[in-house]
Amino acid sequence: MQAMILRQLCDIAENPRPLEPADLPVPEPAANELLVKVLTCGVCHTELDEIEGRTPPSLLPVVLGHQVVGTVVASGRDVAAHAIGDRVGIAWIYSACGACDFCLTGDENLCKEFKATGRDANGGYAEYMTVPEGFAYGIPDALTDAEAAPLLCAGAIGYRSLRLAKLEDGQNLGLTGFGASAHLVLKLAIHQYPKSRCFVFARSEREREFALDLGAVWAGDTEAESPERLHAIIDTTPVWKPVVEALKNLESGGRLVINAIRKEDSDKDYLLKLDYPTHLWDEKEIKSVANVARRDASEFLALAAELGIRPETQEFALLDANQALLELKTGKIRGAKVLRIR
């Protein structure tokens, strides 16, 4: 089968073609695994982090790709959950131990044995891949192969961040940062918490106007004081200033959920502005979001179909994966990038 493989880590600025085409044998599914014929695979910023060594693969060469939509074409003898011909999605979580406290309570993303798709096991930049059956999710018919792929990463993580915010219907929600994943969270929040009011903090006037168009009741700059105290705030920025500024707007007992893989060091000094009585007193909490558990992916796919959430996509051929990654790195052209394998 055709695949694009990463043989060694490198800096993309020095090597703009880090992946090379290869002809690999079609993998054999183990007893509990599915063999999936890949239809589409989303291209994610995390692939750049893998190639450049910020989250290095545990095997090399490796096939990257963790937003995979495909068809089940064969399965191991113990498989019960999916039939041949089913269309399934595969996300960043590839497998977990299944026996630890985290796995048993549905937070298998925190399992110490966590393996990531396209990092610790071959992923979807290929014609076929195998996956444990419990880590593949049915794709609702309403979503196309290309639309479903990007929802498996940013969309599902946005869903988890809203879940971890533990909002009750009628309580105020804040969003600081208003990029692609925050748009999705706003749409989800309006649907799941119809009596709640959403307040958005964003640097640009255009983002603030967009937030109001999408149903936020108020929008202000990052350091603004919201007109009402907020029971939960979700931060989707890569920096520290919004964290400190958000804490002052939390209601007593409120929760700040940080949905960011990492925070930059550039404005770390801003943390020195933390004032205990203003920002933390009265039982305020801070929590981060670490990718997704299985229920986040499957529940979010169903909701996305129901709410008509359709990401804008731009398609590339498998052999053009390097071009897609380069455009992602340089921020060229909007819309989620998706490899079209078939």
Binding residues (CB under 5 A) for Zn ion: these are 44, 46, 96-97, 100, 103, 111, 153
Q: Closest separation between CB of residue 115 and Zn ion, Å? A: 11
Contacts for 51 with CB less than 8 Å, ≥ 6 apart: 6, 9, 10, 12, 18, 19, 64, 325
Q: Closest separation between CB of residue 113 and Zn ion, Å? A: 5
CB closer to Zn ion, 103 vs 175: 103
CB closer to Zn ion, 99 vs 317: 99
CB closer to Zn ion, 155 vs 242: 155
Q: Closest separation between CB of residue 153 and Zn ion, Å? A: 3
Q: Closest separation between CB of residue 213 and Zn ion, Å? A: 27
Q: At what angle do helices 294-307 and 180-192 cross, to 10 degrees?
A: 80
Q: Closest separation between CB of residue 336 and Zn ion, Å? A: 10
CB closer to Zn ion, 198 vs 325: 325
CB closer to Zn ion, 139 vs 247: 139
Q: Closest separation between CB of residue 222 and Zn ion, Å? A: 25
CB closer to Zn ion, 103 vs 165: 103
CB closer to Zn ion, 64 vs 72: 64
Q: Closest separation between CB of residue 249 and Zn ion, Å? A: 29
**HEC profile of the chain:** CEEEEECCCCCCCCCCCCEEEEECCCCCCCCCEEEEEEEEEECCHHHHHHHCCCCCCCCCCECCCCCEEEEEEEECCCCCCCCCCCEEEECCEEECCCCCHHHHCCCHHHCCCCEEECCCECCCCECEEEEEHHHCEECCCCCCHHHHHHHHHHHHHHHHHHHHCCCCCCCCEEEECCCHHHHHHHHHHHHHCCCCCEEEECCCHHHHHHHHHCCCCEEECCCCCCCCCEEEEEECCCCCHHHHHHHCCEEEEEEEEECCCCCCCCCHHHHHHCCHHHHHCCCCEEEECCCCCHHHHHHHHHHHHHHCCCCCEEEEEHHHHHHHHHHHHHCCCCCEEEEECC
CB closer to Zn ion, 44 vs 126: 44
Residues 199 and 174: their CA atoms lie apart, in Å, by: 5
Q: Closest separation between CB of residue 100 and Zn ion, Å? A: 3
